[in-house]
Amino acid sequence: MTMPTWDQTLFPIMKELAGGEVRTAKELREKVIDVFHMSVDEQGETLKSGQLRISNRVGWGLTHLHKAKLIENAEKRGSYRITEDGKAFLNTHCDGFAREQLEAVPAFIAWKKGYQDKNDEVKSSPVFNHEDVSTATSDDQTPEDLMEKASEQLNETLASELLDRIMANDPYFFERLVTKLVLGLGYGDLSQTSGEVTKKSGDGGIDGVVRLDRLGLDSVYIQAKRWNSDHVVGRPDIQGFVGALVENGAQRGVFITTSRFSEEARRYAEVSMRSSNLSVVLIDGMTLTKLMIEYNVGVSVKTSYEVKAVDNDFFDNE
């Protein structure tokens, strides 16, 4: 039998989890292999990155089911269980379902809308369309366009997965992550004492300070809050942070959260900057993960593709 597409893995995964048992990604992959009677050769197919193709497709299936809140992460890393919503969904689709039914789930619609609202560049097209690039043909798109679109889709899902991993870890992990990110952005130097992030206890609106010089004459004050995605950071939170900056005689502040900021909070930060010498930067969960990807914090390059073109200088006559 041919290799299943990522959306063809959805129903077998849900059926395997239907009883409420916890299953690892490996066990779910083996179930899909069994359901589709995949040959040894098919099981061994790999992507250019070296990842097993079937692992990649089961992974996409798990990601979509998780975003629809039909499954959830279990206590053991890399394992999953069905949710109550997942059981109800499966009861109404006991004979199978396709991607369209999954994408009609309210939780998936809400997540997708929230993501698209943060990404103006992809508002006119679906966030997810995980067909092979070779089959995603379009008269007005070049191969380079398709590769760029595929890269954007991969990074969007990677960003979402990063947030999930951050929330699965303890608050101390988040503090270390923020430290690495701020230093990675160029605020300080890991090889110098000026690059150390020091805890600022006793100041309600300050979680840490990055010393930009050895004497501490120039510093960036940090507030880092690991809140769930449904939490909205409001104006009072930013007012408290700005007040703490003023009390400490600071001019630069970065407020980082895994959630999002209200419009009132953003406007207050802008007004504070215009009316004083303060420089306040707000980094929400979406921006946080994009910066992590851009500066290779918590991610690594799995593979790279070269796009070559004719060297006109080589062929032109001198």
Q: Which carries the bigger pLDDT value, residue 197 or residue 268?
A: 268
In a shared domain, residues 90 and 190: no
Return the pLDDT at 128: 40
CA-CA distances (angstroms) from residue 5 to 9, 55, 78, 226, 297? 7, 11, 21, 36, 31
Return the pLDDT at 220: 84
Answer yes or no: is 243 within a domain: yes
In a shared domain, residues 55 and 171: no
Domain assignment of residue 216, given as a range: 165-295
Per-residue exposure over 167-187, b if at least 16 CB sit within 10 Å of its own CB, e if not: eeeeeeebbebbbbbbbbbeb
pLDDT in tens, 8-25: 999 999 999 999 999 999
In a shared domain, residues 172 and 289: yes
Tokens representing 285 are 């969960």
Residue count of the chain, please give it: 318
In a shared domain, residues 87 and 172: no
Return the pLDDT at 140: 54
Return the pLDDT at 266: 94
pTM: predicted TM-score of the whole model, two decimal places: 0.64
In a shared domain, residues 185 and 290: yes
Return the pLDDT at 204: 54
pLDDT in tens, 91-144: 999 999 999 999 999 999 988 877 666 554 444 444 444 444 334 444 456 676
pLDDT in tens, 192-249: 444 445 554 444 567 778 777 666 567 888 888 999 888 999 999 999 999 989 888 8
In a shared domain, residues 169 and 106: no
Answer yes or no: is 153 within a domain: no
CATH of the domain at 222: 3.40.1350.10
* For helices 106-117 and 53-67, angle between their N-to-C axes, nearest 10 degrees: 100
Answer yes or no: is 25 within a domain: yes
Segment (H or E) for 282: strand 279-283
Return the pLDDT at 127: 40
Answer yes or no: is 93 within a domain: yes
Percent of the chain past pLDDT 90, that is, above it, reads: 41
Burial of residue 35, with CB atoms counted within 10 A of its CB: 0-12 exposed, 13-18 middle, 19 or more buried:
middle
Answer yes or no: is 239 within a domain: yes
Q: How many domains does the chain have?
A: 2
Tokens representing 181 are 């990110």
In a shared domain, residues 109 and 185: no
Return the pLDDT at 43: 93
Answer yes or no: is 154 within a domain: no
In a shared domain, residues 176 and 84: no
In a shared domain, residues 113 and 173: no
Q: Which carries the bigger pLDDT value, residue 114 or residue 306?
A: 306
Mean pLDDT over each residue of the chain, to the nearest integer: 82
Return the pLDDT at 148: 76
Domain end: 66, 86, 121, which one?
A: 121
Return the pLDDT at 235: 94
Query: Does 303 score more than 50 pLDDT?
Result: yes
Determine the Cα–Cα distance for residues 77 and 161; give it in Å rounded to an integer. 13
CA 307 to chain centre: 26
CA-CA distances (angstroms) from residue 39 to 16, 35, 59? 21, 11, 20
